Structures are given as structure tokens and as C-alpha cells.
Structure 1
Amino acid sequence: MDDVDRKILAELQQDGRLTVTELAARVRLSLSPCHRRLRDLERSGAIRGYRAVVDPEALGLGFEAVVFATMQQGDRDTVAAFEEAVAAIPHVVLAQRLFGDPDYLLRVVSADLPAFQRLYDERLATLPGVRRLTSTLVMKQVVRDRPLP
């Protein structure tokens, strides 16, 4: 990956709807080489896909919590069951396995505190293999959906 590829990625992170013609002009390439580089970046997996960034508040999901999960045990079956159950909860918009304690970080969106409480009681607290859940409420988004450097 060279500087031109990095410029292509930077432009697409800012506006994924650019046409190849617009992209070529921004990175100062002719159309064919730009298109070839774009396809190579897609084939290599550097570009995993294209999507719209949606405002959660516009969908009535303006409440956010970060939930830390500590597992009772870390065997393969318990971890697999937990991860499968977490993946099935649409309000969990990010789930990361961590080294150390806690074992997982979950980013959860909901309409409001009562909706989060219901989700917590009915879905999160019943996740398989969990010893302890600790949650904290997000007060303010400082950096969100930042393009990669």
C-alpha cells in the first residue's frame, strides 16, 4: 500500500459515495488507474464494504451504555455460547473480547433508561456464562466514527 492508496482510503472514509471519477480527481489519478487501485483495495480486504452512517438519535436510540462482562469461565463452549447470544441482540452495536478483566466490552443503544433496563434485565443479565455485568452510561459522544488515520 502506497501513498496514493492511502489517499484513496482517506477520501472514501470521508465520503463513501464518491464516484470513481470524483475519487480520481481528488487523488490526482486518471480514471483507469484509480478504478484499478480501488478494485485492488476491495479485493485485498482493505475496503471491507460501503454503508451509510446513521444517526442513532434519528432512530430514537439516543441512549447509550457501555457494559463490561466478566465470565465465570473462559472455556471454548462458554465463550462461543456467550458470543453467539450477544451477536443475536440488535441493540448491542459493538462487542469486543478483551485481555484481562473484564472479559468483554459491549456498547449498547436503546431509546432511554427504562428501555435499557428492560434490555439489561431480559437479555444481558441472562447471557450464558456471565459472572458479573458492570455498566456505565455514556454522557456525551466526544469522538465517533472517526476515519482511520
Structure 2
Amino acid sequence: MDALDRKILTELQLDGRLTVTELAARVRLSVSPCHRRLRDLEREGAIRGYRAVVDPAAIGLHFEAVVFATLRWEGRDTVTAFEEAVTAIPHVIQAQRLFGEPDYLLRVATTDLAAYQQLYDQQLAQLPGVQRLTSTLVMKSVVQDRPLPEQPSRG
């Protein structure tokens, strides 16, 4: 991946709806080579997909919590069961496995505190292998959906 590919990725992160013509103009490249590079980036997996970034409040999700989960270690099956169960909960909008304790960080979005409590009691607390859950309520998002930083090419 060279500097031009990185510039293409940066521009697409800022506006994923750019046409190839607009993208080519922004990265100072003619349309055909830009289109080839774009297809290569998609084929190689550098671009995993395109989507709209939706404001949670616009669809009634006004409440967010960060949940730290610590598991009882009962073997590899515990991790698999936990991850499969977390994946099945639509209100978990992000889940990351961590080194050390806690084992997982979950971002959860709901309509309000009452909906979160119900989700917590009925689903989160029932997740396989959970030893402890700790919730922190999000007061305000300061940085969100930021494009990845452009890395200089190594050469």
C-alpha cells in the first residue's frame, strides 16, 4: 500500500458516498487508475464495506453504557459461548476482548435507563460465564466514528 492508496482510504473515510470521479479529483488521479486502486483496496480487504453512520438519538437511542465483563475461566468453550451470546444482542453495538481484567468491553445503546436496566437484568447478567459486570454510563461522546489516522508508508 502506497501513499496514494492511503489518501484514497482517508478520503473515503471522510465521505463514503464519493463517486469515483470525485474521489479521483480529491486524490489528484485520473478516473481509471483511481477506480482500479479502489477495486484492489476492496478485493484486498483494506475496505471492508460501506455504510451510513446513523445518529443514535435520531432513532430513539438516547442512552449509552460501557459495560466491563469479567468471565469465570472454565475453558475455551466459555469464551466461545460468551462471544456468541453477546453477538446475538442487538443493543450491544460494540464488543471488544481485552488483555487482562476485565475480559471484555461492551458498548450498549438503549432508549433510556429503564430499558438498560431491563436489558442488563434479562440478557447481560445472564451471559454465559459471567463472573462480574461493571457498568459506566456515558455522559457525552467526545470523539466518535473518527477516521483512522493516515500512516506514513514504510520504505
What is the TM-score with the length of structure 2 in the denominator?
0.95
1:112-131 mapped onto 2 (5 Å cutoff):
112-131=112-131
Query: Aligned residue for 2:144?
Result: 144
Q: Which residue of 2 aligns with 1:30?
A: 30
1:15 matched residue in structure 2: 15
1:51-62 mapped onto 2 (5 Å cutoff): 51-62=51-62
Q: CA–CA distance in 2 between the matches of 1:100 and 1:26?
A: 43
Q: Distance in 1 between matches of 2:131 and 2:31?
A: 56
Provide the secondary structure at the position in 2 that maps to 1:105.
strand
Question: How many residue pairs get matched?
Answer: 149
2: distance between equivalents of 1:80 and 1:48? 24
Structure 2 unaligned regions, length at least 5: 150-155
Cα gap change, 1:29 to 1:64, in 2 (>3 Å) = same
State the distance in 2 between where 1:93 and 1:24 align.
33
Match of 1:95 in 2: 95
- 1:41 matched to which residue of 2? 41
> Alpha-carbon deviation of 1:54?
0.3
Counterpart residue number, 1:110: 110
* Superposition RMSD in Å: 0.6
Which 4+ residue blocks in structure 1 deviate beyond 4 angstroms? none
Q: What aligned pairs does 1:52-91 form with structure 2 within 5 A after superposition?
A: 52-73=52-73, 75-91=75-91
Shift of 1:74: 5.2
Identity, in percent, stands at 79
List gaps (5 residues or longer) in structure 1. none
Deviation at 1:3, TM superposition (A): 1.0
Q: How big is the shift at 1:72? A: 0.8
Rounded to whole Å, the distance in 2 between the matches of 1:139 and 1:14 is 26
